[in-house]
A and B are shown apart, each in its own frame.
Chain A
Amino acid sequence: MTPGVLDQCLKLAQGLADAAGEAIRPYFRQPLTVDDKADLTPVTAADRAAEQAMRSLIESRFPGHGIIGEEFGRVRENAEFVWTLDPIDGTKSFISGVPLFGTLIALTRARRPILGIIDQPISRERWVGVVDRPTTLNGAVIRCRACPALAGATLFATTPDMFREGDAAAFARVSSAVKLTRFGADCYAYGLLAAGFIDLVLEASLKPYDS
């Protein structure tokens, strides 16, 4: 892919993250109506407002691109370029007033991930990953840290409840081998791993828009 196309997509992705943050911030730590979706995960007006803002920007800039959104479904999902949007990954953190949720924006080309953003709109931290380029946090290049052995590793998972039956046993084997296990950071854990503060993330029910 030519750098021009990728850079145009990156510029849009940055605009999507800006728009989502603008939509989300007014709702944080305010009284909210929380609906339970069919899968019993909570959704708020903030999720819907952020996804609508992002979808309308994609539709106006790249009307041929596909969109898969957590709240409003799929359009053109077989297009060459498909955006996957999770306006608030970590809605349970969000509704609890915990600023460890994030807006996830990903772009796939021919089903392979080529661009990803994790944006934390309260702390105003933005991780940007582009295929074959170094990852940045608020513009500064970051690296994972070395961790030669599990005995020295810090492990994160969203919640122990996600590991069922055989998955729970597998998680327990890893958790018992590491130095420290922590729960609850959702997508923020990937940012911490990319910035060199933690070593492993194990999840059992990640959805396509989270990858």
Chain B
Amino acid sequence: MVPIVAGAGGIATDWRGADLDIASDGRILVAGDRRTHRTALELIGG
């Protein structure tokens, strides 16, 4: 899923904004626009 999102200009990270890998904890945030990704991350962090 990560290359599909990245290759379309989107971003996929965990809930702290870190890149996903095989050891990620299952909490993920995917966005098509980096601006909404950043705002959503701020809301997730409280």
> Which residues of chain A have a CB within 8 Å of any CB of chain B?
82, 84, 104, 106, 108, 111-118, 127-135, 142-150, 153, 167, 169-170, 173-174, 177, 187, 190-191, 193-196, 198-208, 210-211
Which residues from chain B contact A149 at a C-beta distance below 8 Å? 35-36, 39
Q: List 29 A-B contacts (CB under 8 A).
A: A108-B22, A127-B4, A129-B3, A129-B4, A129-B7, A129-B8, A131-B3, A132-B7, A135-B4, A144-B8, A146-B32, A147-B35, A149-B35, A150-B40, A150-B43, A153-B36, A173-B43, A174-B40, A177-B39, A193-B10, A193-B31, A194-B10, A196-B8, A196-B32, A200-B30, A201-B28, A204-B26, A205-B26, A211-B21
Interface residues on B, range: 20 to 34
- From A108, A146, A177, A207, B33 is in contact (CB under 8 Å) with A146
Question: Which 4 residue pairs are nearest across A and B when measured between Cβ atoms?
Answer: A144-B32, A129-B4, A129-B3, A135-B7
Q: How far is the CB of B4 from chain A (nearest CB, A)?
A: 3
- From B4, B6, B33, B45, A199 is in contact (CB under 8 Å) with B33
A116-B1, A135-B3, A194-B10 given. 5 additional CB < 8 A pairs? Answer: A118-B4, A129-B4, A144-B8, A146-B32, A202-B44
